[in-house]
Amino acid sequence: MTSFLLGFQTRVSMLHSHPSFHHIPRKTMACLTGRLPIDYGSDNNFDNQILKNIRSGFAVLQSDAQLMDDPVTKFLVDWYAEDGASFEEDFGKSMVRMGRIGSASCGNIRRVCNKFD
């Protein structure tokens, strides 16, 4: 899969060439310095849109793009991109399991994820 993370200007050009981004002026895209949604199309919702984007070649993070390089993770991306209900159910179960992991004696668990304790 061609990574969409080449250089920032290249990414802006690639984004602007995709029909989903035509409504955003190129000048605005070139000035992006803040938050870039990783799941364009539903950045304010919890759903499987990010997986659909990854599958279509529009992964913002290189680690997400690489999910398509391995047959096992590609299968999972394809599966969950098609079955949003299973994605949400399995994601919830995974979060509960991860919550039981705890932290190492030298670590901590953030109560507010975007702030340091």
For the annotated binding site, the residues are: 39, 47
Beta strands in the chain (DSSP E): none
Burial class (CB in 10 A: 0-12, 13-18, 19+), 50: buried
| Binding annotation for Ca(2+) | 39, 47
- Distances from the Cα of 44 to the Cα of 31, 37, 39, 96, angstroms: 21, 9, 9, 22
